[in-house]
Structure 1
Amino acid sequence: MARNLRPPAEVVDDTSQTRRIYDDLRRAIITGEYREGEKLPEARLAAQLGTSRLPVREALALLEFDGIVSALPRRSAVVRSWDATAVEELFDVRIGLEPLGARLAAARIRQGHDSSPLRAALREAREATDSRDPLRIAESNAELHGAIVELSGNSLLTQLMRTILARMAWLFFLTHERDTEEQRDEHQHLIDAITSGDERLAEYAMLSHTEAGRAPTLAIVTALRHSERSTGQGA
């Protein structure tokens, strides 16, 4: 089946070309155009994109760093799969990082730092919800969480968070049938708590919001895997 991957419209430098290929492949994986467990040979991707193998290889390396694909020496990259363990691991890491990020962000706002980036990210998340576009909703919600940690001012925390944002967007897309209106209300409450400058309130709001998503996310992923096994479509 032909892949609807957008080829570069013009000659660009290697860094821009790699980023463009990365973005195209990431979105294709998130939306299921490339299925979990599917091999991604460099040569085939390069031919589809009308480019050399080098930027494809670099893009796949970025996707591996993000935990979107896995690769073995001298073998094709493979789209990673979601199961209960993968979901639990992501939530465990988020529980460790995000409440800290919310607390530090609240402290900086209390000290006078600008909260407009959070408001802008929240506004985009709300508009995405209204659009009912699952990919836009998933990406904007992940970006909202990233913006909170970004405001923390902790460079190491921000770097760690960036390594899981793509996985968060992917999981948000897979579970887009969750109550988006409820999540929108939770995000409003979360941003209100952070912008109040109350560190403990912000930390608790983030902890509560993140943990509340664990059970429904596990239920959806488990149901998806069961459905795939029943129809013989599993990776």
Structure 2
Amino acid sequence: MPTPRTTTPPPAASPALSRTDAAYESLRRRILDNIWPPGHQALEQEIALELGLSRTPVREALIRLEREGLVQVIPRHGMRVLPMSATDMREIYEILTALESLAVEIVATRRPSDSELAPLVRATQAMEHALAKDDLDAWARADESFHAQLVTMAGNRLLTEAVFSHWDRAHRARMFTLRLRPKPVNSTQEHTALVECLRAGDSAGASAVNRAHRQRASRELLALFERYRLQQM
């Protein structure tokens, strides 16, 4: 199964370029995983020391991240992690809801076997076990695994690429709200209902369950974004 974001090893390049790529990936991961939350600030020299790199690759990495809208580079003051836009998040979730629901219909039409559905069942069980232990990070990993496998099962390469092209920003929003939202008990129940629709070959039912699941999650996320925005005003 392809991962939501594949990283192709860079071709043979100068050491400086390799260090820039390493700095970029490391800083980007910190932002997407909410290790550096919106508003986090750091000096260029501090980042370089933390990564064990010189300032040049760090500066080049920050410029790339600024072009992606993840940070603001502040001359002589390092950088600041930019807040996420509620409008962007709403649009991303609308896209993901539509594309994933199409994937669900394709899978259900094929009426997958129990062995094909096993990865989805295991991911749902892992979510339940994580909730029982109050391990939200493990829950989030299992939840993302469920959705990634679900889309991949459709067997449509272009559809999968379209979903995964928005995956990182959705991941950042999810990690930002992970400990702000109520305990996500509804998700496991909705996943179980979705798997049963797939097993029965009920494409309309599967699509409806998935759409309702994604829309509920989107409403919760956007409400938290709005609350956070008001607190920062």
TM-score of the aligned structures, taking structure 2 as reference length:
0.71
Alignment of 1:27-106 (within 5 A): 28-30=30-32, 32-38=34-40, 44-51=46-53, 69=70, 79-106=81-108
Q: Which moved more, 1:161-170 or 1:31-40?
A: 31-40
User: CA distance change for structure 1 residues 140 and 20 in 2, over 3 Å: closer, same or farther?
Assistant: farther
Q: Which moved more, 1:118-127 or 1:84-93?
A: 118-127
Task: Give the number of equivalent residue pairs.
Answer: 212
Q: In structure 1, what is the equivalent of residue 120 of structure 2? A: 118
Matched AA of 1:69:
L
One of 133, 136, 144 as aligned partner of 1:134? 136
* Secondary structure of the structure 1 residue equivalent to 2:205: helix
User: CA distance change for structure 1 residues 92 and 121 in 2, over 3 Å: closer, same or farther?
Assistant: same
Please state how far the C-alpha of 1:123 moved relative to its aligned partner: 2.6
The answer (yes or no) to whether the contact 1:138–1:170 under 8 Å persists in 2 is no
User: CA distance change for structure 1 residues 18 and 222 in 2, over 3 Å: closer, same or farther?
Assistant: same
User: CA distance change for structure 1 residues 21 and 207 in 2, over 3 Å: closer, same or farther?
Assistant: same
Q: In structure 1, what is the equivalent of residue 10 of structure 2? A: none
2:168 is the alignment partner of 1:170: no
2:172 is the alignment partner of 1:180: no
RMSD (Å) for aligned C-alpha atoms: 3.8
TM-score of the aligned structures, taking structure 1 as reference length:
0.70
Please state how far the C-alpha of 1:60 moved relative to its aligned partner: 8.5
Matched residues, percent identical? 22
Please state how far the C-alpha of 1:139 moved relative to its aligned partner: 3.1
Counterparts of 2:118 and 2:23, CA distance in 1: 28
Q: Deviations over 1:145-198 (max 9, x none)?
A: 111101110111111211222222222223332341122211221222223322
Counterparts of 2:111 and 2:169, CA distance in 1: 28
Q: Which moved more, 1:163-172 or 1:86-95?
A: 163-172
The answer (yes or no) to whether the contact 1:134–1:173 under 8 Å persists in 2 is no
* Secondary structure of the structure 2 residue equivalent to 1:36: coil
Counterparts of 1:54 and 1:117, CA distance in 2: 40
Counterparts of 2:193 and 2:114, CA distance in 1: 20
Matched AA of 1:145:
H
Q: Which has the larger radius of gyration?
A: 2
User: CA distance change for structure 1 residues 143 and 88 in 2, over 3 Å: closer, same or farther?
Assistant: same
Counterparts of 2:63 and 2:116, CA distance in 1: 36
